[in-house]
Structure 1
Amino acid sequence: MFLLLIVVIVLPADASDDRQYTALHFGASINDYIAFKYNMAPFQDSFSICTWIKRVDTSASSPLVFDYEPSHEILLSSNGRYNHFLADGDLNRKESVFTTPVGSWFNYCITWSLASRSINLYLDGNLVGTGTTDSGRALKMGGTLYFNILYTTSSSSFIFGGQLYQFNIFSKALSSADVKKIADGGMCLDLTEFSGTGDLRWEYILSQSRSGSVREVEIDIDDNDTVECLKTLLRRSQERLTNVTGRLNETESQLSGTEVKLNTTLKELGYVRGELERTESELQTESAQHNKTGEQLGTCSTSLTSTLTHLDTCSTSLTSTLTQLEGARTFHNITRWDVLYTTPYFNKVLTEELFQQLSSSWGMLGKFVGVNITEGVVNHFSQFHKEPVCNVFKQMSIPMLSKLY
């Protein structure tokens, strides 16, 4: 895990650092160039351009390293023939001070500010020329930046055809001491301390599209720069190591916290697993109970069907019983002597057989107590010498003989 984290942290810094030691080699054709737009507003009132230049091709009479349009607002040559800034040509025709041999690197810086109106040209940290811009003259905006060609012509006389390294435009006029420090620091010097907001950095130029045979090359460091480069490399390595160590310690702390959280999570997962197993067991029990309940419901369904059939039978029986009860209610409400008007008894001699039928139908003739009856009927019934009958009739009133005829 730690090795992976180190790779993630260190590799981007190494990759970026490698590009800081990459130069651009321009061919001698008009098709070999770089061109792009850039917001030049940070440089409107002051700027400094510093770069390392190596002359390779010597066929061009006026080799232009850089041309900022519109109208050649800034021209920078590698042999001193054209050094044109904000319409000032005081630094043109300076071939005599560009004495570095072909094939060797030299440091080139110019500085300018609107307040001072002064343009200063430095070679290898030494002031070799000055110029003056018009009062109130600021840098024009909206132009395009060109490298290795003159924008308005296709002539090969203006092709640089050499190598360029660490081309930076700073948004302030560097002091002579700053320029000297950059030159003496060599090609490996870290320029971070001179940088400001809105600067055009070399890394940005390296990221732009290229035309023709423009390519990246490793810089050829002179022996005089070796010690400084080694010091710079050592310092940067120490800074990266400190940075990586800090991040590694932070990562270890985070991993320690993560390990604690992981252990807690594992315990929670163990508890959850136990709960899941318990729930699964309960579900199995519930499933068995469900199956049993289903069987019971099936039995209940059969029993319910049988009960419904029985209820249908009971309903029929109840209907019949209700009919019987209605008949019995009607029978119970009739006058007891009215029974004598029915077919079995009306106009018939009350024989013992009929008496028995009447007695069994009514239960007891005592129910006739209080019913009006004639004396003739009483006498008629008395011939049977039935003691219960006589006793009953003796308790009845005599009037309303008409009820019998």
Structure 2
Amino acid sequence: MRYYADGALLGTLQTPGSAIPSGHSFTLGNHATYLHSSYAFGGEMFQLNIYAKELSGEEIKRMADAGMCSTKEDENEDVRVLKWEDIVKKTRTGTVTEFIPDQCVEEVERRMDLLAECQQSLEESEQTLKETVKKKEIIEQTLNQTQTKLNSTELQLENVSTNLNRIADNLQTTLKQLKKCNQTSQSWDWDLFSLDIYVNTTISSEVAEQLRSSWDNIAEMMIGFTITDQFITFLKHIDTDECSEERPWTMLHTKRYLNKVFTREDANSLITMWDEISGSLVGVKMTRETVKLLKYITKNCTD
């Protein structure tokens, strides 16, 4: 057996070469069988380790140079079979006092400070983790709400798409109506409704019928005559029909008729111009703003 102090070989001792058997108790500081104060170890033990091989002088020297307070990993860790950190956890008998070697106090205090810092860092990390988890829950809740809104929006988009298809169908119908409108709108004389008898009056079924049939009896009489202001005045004078007061004479003052020879085509147009639109006017209050709007619509329809 070789024994060292501070990494230096002090001497050797001849001992039997028997191995430590397994399956038995291992006792430090007293007799394994006869525990007695006379056998008690009265010194100090620190960092006692047993290895499964004989360490070389160089290995022991490096171990001593590192110091008994070293935190470096044991280079022979793979063959360290009995470890000091395990020994201090075992059952103790008698008087055993834990101590810190004087040369290790500073290192232990440094480690305790480091441990305190680690503990504080751990607590802060735990708090951060709790806050992060809370934020995650809020984000998940927000995502769920967003998903719900997206689902609702998707449904709304489907409804909008359905409405757009319906509008497209209506537009097609409107286009057909506009084509028809384009063929007849040039005949409508909306200035008629600027007369005092119509302004701020709601068009009734009777009035609509008068519009539709107002020229039935007199249009034929005007064929071949030039429509002048004097002729229009003459017609009003000789017109004894019960509808003469409501007859829209102002239409004859438009560019289409005034100072032109009244033809068969003009007569037919005058007779039929309100046939398709008069029914649509029932219930409409003819204000001056309404007349302007009808003129605008007719103009754009024609264009």
Structure showing greater radius of gyration is: 1
TM-score, scaled relative to structure 2:
0.36
The structure with the greater share of residues assigned to strand is 1
TM-score, normalised via structure 1 length: 0.28
